[in-house]
Chain A
Amino acid sequence: METIKNYFFIDLGVMLGRSMRHVSRSMDTIITVTIMPIAMMLLFVYVLGGAIQTGSDNYVNYLLPGILLIAIANSVGYTSFRLFTDVQRGIFERFHSMPIARSAALWGHVLTSLVSNVISLIVIILVALLMGFRSPAGLASWLAIAGILAMFTLALTWIAVIPGLTAKTIDGASAIAYPIHFLPLISSAFVPTKSMPSGVRAFAEHQPVTSIVEAIRALLYHQPVGNGIWVALGWCGGITLLAYFFAMRVYKRRG
């Protein structure tokens, strides 16, 4: 056991390197995860933005947090897909019959999701800067934002692990992506919830994305974060724990 524990991080590194290649060699992934959110940002700012009243002078400042969450939400379907392929092709069985830490294969996928999202979010933020995004936030606020985004990524990734391990068909594995794509759309990511009809508004105000968007916005623009940030962190932490618990149960049951 000792020797295998010592190799955990080496094995994890090999797994990370492997699936990062899966990301960087898939044009489809790069388009959905990075280019599409940037295109949406351009569309909303330069085409629709003139008609949207958010109360901020620069719409890109209002929009950016939501775009970041959309990029993350778009990415987790690929985690399901990559996991599903590994299970179906027998690659997991190959890894599991080798003297390597069992969980390294699974954590490799989770870590890949985190690392690839960090890269795509940095690219999106750079484009936003070119479009006039400015924030007075200091280092502490940016670290807090990075923490929230990382937790959001982990929460969605662990949800995506479950169908990746259990699905019988490739469509089943990717189906999880659709409801997750919808959450940022029905939130305060694009427009304030005040402008929505009451039923939609009630949903938008009580689902996780709105509280996360609002918390990031508050940190970016020196507004009081209040209780909102705890609601946001509570959502992320709660979903992560629950999904992690179920995912690990499924993973262990698979042998």
Chain B
Amino acid sequence: MSSNEIAIAVKGLEKSYKNTPVLKGVDFQVEKGSIFALLGPNGSGKTTMVKILATLLKQNNGQAIVNGFDVSLQPEQVRQSISLTGQFAAVDEVLTGRENLIMMARLRHLPHPRQVADDLLERFGLTDASHRKAAIYSGGMRRRLDIAMSLVGNPSLIFLDEPSTGLDPEARIVVWEIVKKLARGGTTVFLTTQYLEEAEQLADTIAILHNGKIIASGTLEALKQLFPPAKVEYIEKQPTLEEIFLAIVGTKTTY
């Protein structure tokens, strides 16, 4: 990989809170235009990692380069090229969906904020709810608005910190579709998740964060080869409760 094909390069990254080490020398690379999943249990340091890459926290040691800029030396340039969707949908509940998007377009200093807002509302199926306060949105709608807000100004790299936590299965599938479409459009997606299935469904590359270190990383195929070859067994496949649920409610996977 040449350096201009790399969206994120992290080397020897360390971070402690007071005397508690959270990241103990993390290394990984994310290719431009790919979906990268940082997989790990709660408290493994995923959010800390995202915050450092999004210039919200400073690391103690090591280096992180985002879109060619060093996060600790050139944070302004990093912020120009990224967008963060935090763990809890950071929407302004007092404002309507449309007002939230217009606000973001103004803060990105785009020429036609209202047009930008209306296009995104349309794209995320929020046009009907656009004049309602975000406070009364459902969890799924709120997350869609949240992601739409991150896409204002078309950043080349988007961070999604646990994008489907707290969502029902239908809403989660909608979010997955959004992520896949983003990557198809050339956006690099960095997501954190604690769900193996989510990483498996979405990611081109997966890194597993455990006790402050990346213990395994690679494509799903590469990770599978770390384990003994699959044995062929015949097992009666029972539908999962999720599949039953989705079959009954008749999931809409379009958004």
Contacts and interface: CB of A to CB of B under 8 A. Distances in A.
Interface of A: 1, 4, 7, 10-11, 14, 17-18, 21-22, 25-26, 89-91, 93-100, 255
Where chain A touches its partner, the secondary structure class is helix
B95 A21 contact: yes
Interface string B47-80: 0000100111110000000000000000010011
A97 B99 contact: no
Contacts of B91: 89, 91
Nearest to B85: A94
B107 A100 contact: yes
B255 interface: no
What 8 pairs across the A-B complex have the smallest Cβ distances? A90-B90, A97-B84, A90-B86, A99-B79, A97-B54, A94-B90, A14-B106, A99-B80
Nearest to B58: A255
A98 B79 contact: yes
Contacts of A26: 94
Contact of B107 (A89, A93, A95): A95
Contacts of B149: 94
B192 interface: no
A97 B106 contact: no
Which secondary structure characterizes the binding site on chain B? loop
B74 to A, nearest CB: 11
A98 B108 contact: yes
B205 interface: no
Interface string B74-117: 00100110111011111111110001000100111100000000
Given A10-B109, A90-B88, A91-B90, A4 B83 contact: no
A37 to B, nearest CB: 24
Interface of B: 51, 54-58, 76, 79-80, 82-84, 86-95, 99, 103, 106-109, 149
Contacts of A90: 86-90
A31 B79 CA distance: 40
A25 B93 CA distance: 11
Contact of B82 (A14, A25, A97, A255): A97
Given A98-B107, A255-B58, A93 B90 contact: yes
A94 B76 contact: no
By CB atoms of chain B within 10 A, which of A22, A89, A93, A98 has the most? A98
Contact of B103 (A1, A14, A93): A14
A99 B57 contact: no
A93 B95 contact: no
A96 B109 contact: no
Among A10, A26, A100, which residue has the most Cβ atoms of chain B within 10 A? A100
29 contacts: A7-B109, A10-B106, A11-B107, A14-B103, A14-B107, A21-B94, A21-B95, A21-B99, A22-B94, A25-B94, A26-B94, A89-B88, A89-B93, A90-B86, A90-B88, A90-B89, A93-B90, A94-B84, A94-B86, A96-B56, A97-B79, A97-B82, A97-B84, A98-B107, A99-B76, A99-B79, A99-B80, A255-B51, A255-B57
A214 to B, nearest CB: 39
User: Counting chain A CB atoms within 10 Å of each CB, which of B56, B58, B83, B149 scores highest?
Assistant: B56
Given A18-B103, A98-B108, A93 B84 contact: yes
A91 B55 CA distance: 15
Contact of B92 (A7, A91, A255): A91
B29 to A, nearest CB: 21
Given A97-B79, A255-B56, A18 B86 contact: no
Contacts of A4: 76
A100 B84 CA distance: 14
B144 to A, nearest CB: 16
A98 B78 CA distance: 9
